[in-house]
Structure 1
Amino acid sequence: MSEKIDVHVPVLIVGGGGAGLTSSILLSRLGVPSLLVTRYPGTTNLPRGHILNQHSMEILTDMGVTPEIRAKGAPPENMRGVAWYSGLAGGGPEDAHGRLLGFVEAWGGGYTDPDYIAASPEAIANLSLLRTEPMLKAHAESYAEATVRFNHELVGLEQDADGVTSTILDRGTGETYTVRSSYLLGADAGRTVGELAGIKVTMHERIRKLVSLYLSMDLSQYLPGDDSILTWVFNPEYPEHLDFGAVLVPQGPERWDRHSEEWLLAVSRPDLDASQPELMLQWASEALGIPDLDPEIISVSEWHLERFLIDDFRAGRVFMVGDAAHRVPPSGGLGLNSAIQDVYNLCWKLAAVLAGRAGDGLLDTYTVERRPVNLNNIETSTKSVGGQMTMASSLGVSPSKSAEENWAELRKFWDDDVPGAAERRHEFNEWLGESTLEYHQHNVDFGYTYDSAAVVGDGSPAPVSPDEIRLYQPSTRPGHPLPHAWVERSGKRLALRELIHGGHFALIAGEKGQAWVEAAEKIAQEREIPLRAARVGLGKNVDYIDIRLAWQRNRAISPEGAILVRPDGYIAFRSIEAADDALSTLTAVFNQVLATPGQED
């Protein structure tokens, strides 16, 4: 190649948001050098992407970031659920202001729901990218393997059979330089990489326009509750706002109850115009029912609920992650979580291929595994948005009714003497039950499965859940996430999934599965595969004690059996019983999973 190359690096990451920074950290922890460039001068100034579900928190724990997120995020008691209130002040009957209309537990009810506790060692977190991106940036910059350059923009991209040549513009100096990488990760929300790489779009649909106002204000005198992640407000005084209401999200940074110092406020009207912040504030005041609302406006942003999905997450040596590959309506909080889980799936595979432990075919499984998951996320979130469209009618309010008529409908929620009160409350209770599609989507958040060449099926039937969206059922069937169990060794308790931390495979055998352990360790040593092997159960000569019998409840293997867990926590192989030749069996398993069919024991 005659063109001068200024930088050589195994992986170039384009984009410095949640997906890009997470990629940088994961690759560094796997020993893979990378360069991250982003056209923006700094991290986001908008409080978006605030829900971090259990699976994402497990990943962030593996990355070493969780303690800071827990320290700065909402305490569990301030994120039990989602609440609906009548207009908070202003016109209408004085006894009707700030009345609780309904409440539903959300995302595990502040880690009190037994299903969520049993599923994972991690509770959800509530902290927006406004706070988490600077943390991620600092972590990324702390690794010797990583170079992070903000205010640097990708302006050209060419790839060949051996790598990718990218042209980068230093927006500060106006100079360009060339980067040669083995692979490129597009984490730029589809702004540049997709077009340059010739990515085809399957789906792009805008559903609704909203405006979010990031405000500093004191709402403590208006809000009676302290335990809501989201607060919906419906103010009958201004019927034109009643088809959507207003949504309040506390932003801390010190308090996360009704005394939160900062708030995100979302409103929706057909004539929204974010270029007129004072008008937006007027509409926000009307939607909340606080006529003298006078906050500090930190920022105003206009955005769309949208559905977006590309055909293939891989284009040669270019891989698309996060919003560059898919965009999900925000209902359910799946956008940022999908991005984090994309790169957790991809980065261990890149590291294995770059180290020569795996063949290129392993990288093809990224699209095969992640695209169906993200399509399901889009479909689930779209259903949730559809449910939001019927929220007002379930409350009995409508833009077509007068303020007096709408107040009379809401009075049914606290005044038993109003005719039809019990019936109206039950109708909204039914709607709240349906809203668990958004606020209790545990199987979508956590229980999704993979089916690809990197999973060795065992012919067993897939478990059938009574509710494929809401109910997660742990299973060790290949392609499922490793079930959670607390185990102990030498008096120290740890989550079983910690065996995969740092990019390790985990061979987990039954009490009499020493042959599996020895075979796995032999293969790992010969092929330089990062792996931890252990017998887990009860009795003598086990490596980890199943002290609560949580593993026994879900493992579905005999004392002679074993499972192999991939570095992303997904089960690659299961043998319920002993094998005639554990070494040959595992050799074939690793050959399939790592796309190295020519290697023999």
Structure 2
Amino acid sequence: MRFPETTPVLVVGGGPVGLTLSVLLSGHGVPHLLVEAHPSTSRHPKARGVSARSMEIFRKCGLEEEVRAAGLPASQVFFYRGRDLVDPDFVRTGVASGAAEGPERTPSPGLICSQDALEAVLLRRARQLAPEGALFDTRLISLTPQDGHVRAVLEDRATGERHTVRADWLVGCDGASSTVREASGIAMAGPTGLGHFLSIRFEAPLGEVVADRASASYFLTAPGRGGFLAVDNDRRWIYQYPYNPEHADTAALLADHQALARLVREAAGLPELAVTVQDTMTWRMDARLAETYRRARVLLAGDAAHVVPPTGGHGMNVGIGDADNLAWKLAAATAGTAGEALLDSYEAERRPVARQVIDISLANSRARDGYRIDDELLLTAAYRSTAVLADPNAPNAPERSPLDPDGDHPEAAPGTRLPHLRLGDRAGAASTLDLVGPGFTLFTTTGAEAWRRQAATATAAGLPVTVRTVPLPGLPEATGVPSTGAVLVRPDGHIAWRAPQPDAGDGQLIAALRRVLSAGPAAQDAGHYPSADSAQRLA
């Protein structure tokens, strides 16, 4: 293995969140190193629900079709309830994500893609973009925050050799038992032990059995039975069995594949089913949130920052959103175009989202009358932070939660995601979202020369902005600005600022950018943040 002595960003953890962050950092042109203690990606399906917002992020990375091909067909994204898999009185509810009536909200509907398949897709892409940037079988031994950087000691688990790496920033994406979080002294708060489950990964010829009821999840209504998760709705399955870790027979059960196969047969209602148990894992249902997402030059993302009960289906998606929010901010900070305070906006924007998803999921786990959070809910995320500039003449908005189940967030207000509009025949772009990034993007309807001059002034000062003229009749209405106005969109697709018309001078846009980036006038002498022409394209 080749270990660099220094790196702008060290990512600890090679699960879906760490790998997504690696892909995004490469797209922003940020050299980095990712290390993962395990020798390979997950063999266990674990998380499976991929939200529409996560799919939009993968679309930006050029991975949407590959992820979709690795997932279940949309026709199978249903939820089954019955006493067993052959219950004649079963109930099947839910429809494929994105099939709901009403305006199209996204170009990239969500889907079910098991974590083992998703990680393989992400790792291939991460290594295409940074061939030596992802080292598995490598663990973090210690980290020491120092003035302006972090000193990390890494161990090659195959050889036992240790290496010291100096990182400008270190991001812990290393899961619920995060070594990074513990070493940084960041506490977690929230209930633990809400349930204990045994996940049995097995093969069995169940495809014909469920042909008339194919679903993503099969919830068994018989008490204490748990449920089945479809990996391919044919031969590959997971059985989730609720168990008591203090029961005297538990240890023996975990080691007895014949007993585990009997559990599967009983739950399926098929006493003669041929079952091959492949492996097992146990997990505990917790609902915890880190007290802070940042300590000096160390940041947390994914399960290292928030542990979400699965009774909502979006724990992994919240982490993928963390990566998307954090990647462009690290890019700006390492390029010198942003002040360090920009990294504080990461917690200000993402921690409330995790808090709300945890609360909804926790309520689901207690009520037992709902299991998933509406897939479109994560599309409504509205940020409030120093990286978002509120409209100066708007009345003070009431405090709202970042995710809005009732649709009360104003469309396209600063902090919300840019609305999706279809672009028709525009080459290489089917949605307004396809025109975003990798740096800042200024959307206009008419392409007024005044806005182009302002973008040129910002670019000359080291803050490149790509101007996108989108002459769609619905754009002014969707973005809430008249045809003379402009909307500044951050690299993560969220609106940073909007203005109804250009000022007389050319400093209006650059002033907004400096405020968003927590950067003073010195930003004009710093390195350039990636523009559409200068950064390595994600797709």
User: How does the TM-score come out when normalised to structure 2?
Assistant: 0.89
Kept in 1: contact 2:46–2:115 (CA 8 A) = yes
Aligned residue number for residue 569 of structure 1: 493
Aligned residue number for residue 237 of structure 2: 263
- Write out aligned runs for 1:472-511 (5 A): 475-488=411-424, 494-501=430-437, 503-511=438-446
Distance 1:26 1:472 in 2: 31
Q: 1:250 to 1:511 in 2, by over 3 A?
A: same
Kept in 1: contact 2:51–2:317 (CA 8 A) = yes
Aligned residue number for residue 21 of structure 2: 23
Count, aligned residues: 511
1:152 is displaced (CA, Å) by 1.0
Aligned residue number for residue 597 of structure 1: 520
Aligned residue number for residue 279 of structure 1: 259
1:512 is displaced (CA, Å) by 6.7
- Write out aligned runs for 1:86-125 (5 A): 86-88=83-85, 97-106=86-95, 109-115=96-102, 118-125=104-111
1:207 is displaced (CA, Å) by 0.7
Secondary structure at the counterpart of residue 30 of structure 2 = coil
- Write out aligned runs for 1:71-90 (5 A): 71-79=69-77, 81-88=78-85
- Write out aligned runs for 1:414-493 (5 A): 435=370, 438-440=372-374, 442-443=376-377, 445-458=378-391, 459-460=394-395, 461=397, 468-469=404-405, 471=407, 475-488=411-424
Q: 1:583 to 1:146 in 2, by over 3 A?
A: farther
1:599 is displaced (CA, Å) by 5.2
Q: Any gaps of 5 or more consecutive residues in structure 1?
A: 89-96, 235-241, 389-430, 538-544
Kept in 2: contact 1:441–1:470 (CA 8 A) = no
1:60 is displaced (CA, Å) by 0.8
Secondary structure at the counterpart of residue 98 of structure 1 = coil
Question: Amino acid of the residue matched to residue 37 of structure 1?
Answer: V
Kept in 1: contact 2:199–2:280 (CA 8 A) = yes
1:362 is displaced (CA, Å) by 0.6
Please list the CA deviations of residues 515-545 of structure 1 after superposition, one character each: whole Å capped at 9, or x if unmatched. Answer: 223312331x2133343212323xxxxxxx4
Q: Does 1:363 align with 2:337?
A: no
Q: Which runs of 4+ in 1 moved over 6 A?
A: 462-465
Distance 1:600 1:294 in 2: 66
Q: 1:344 to 1:110 in 2, by over 3 A?
A: closer
Q: Does 1:142 align with 2:128?
A: yes
1:299 is displaced (CA, Å) by 1.3
- Percent identity between the two aligned chains: 29
Please list the CA deviations of residues 64-97 of structure 1 after superposition, one character each: whole Å capped at 9, or x if unmatched. Answer: 2222112221121122x21212334xxxxxxxx5
Distance 1:42 1:288 in 2: 31
Aligned residue number for residue 187 of structure 2: 200
Question: Amino acid of the residue matched to residue 39 of structure 2?
Answer: P
1:169 is displaced (CA, Å) by 1.0
1:321 is displaced (CA, Å) by 0.8
Q: 1:378 to 1:492 in 2, by over 3 A?
A: closer
Kept in 1: contact 2:80–2:213 (CA 8 A) = no
- Of 501, 518, 530 in structure 2, the residue corresponding to residue 578 of structure 1 is 501
CA-based RMSD of the aligned residues comes to 2.5
Distance 1:85 1:439 in 2: 21
Q: Return the structure number with greater relative CO, CA threshold 8 A, min gap 6.
A: 2
- Of 222, 226, 242 in structure 1, the residue corresponding to residue 209 of structure 2 is 222
Aligned residue number for residue 93 of structure 1: none
- Of 326, 335, 341 in structure 1, the residue corresponding to residue 306 of structure 2 is 326
Which range moved further: 492-501 or 54-63?
492-501
Distance 2:98 2:256 in 1: 40
Larger Rg: 1
Q: Does 1:39 align with 2:37?
A: yes
User: How does the TM-score come out when normalised to structure 1?
Assistant: 0.80
Aligned residue number for residue 527 of structure 1: 461
Distance 1:102 1:351 in 2: 48
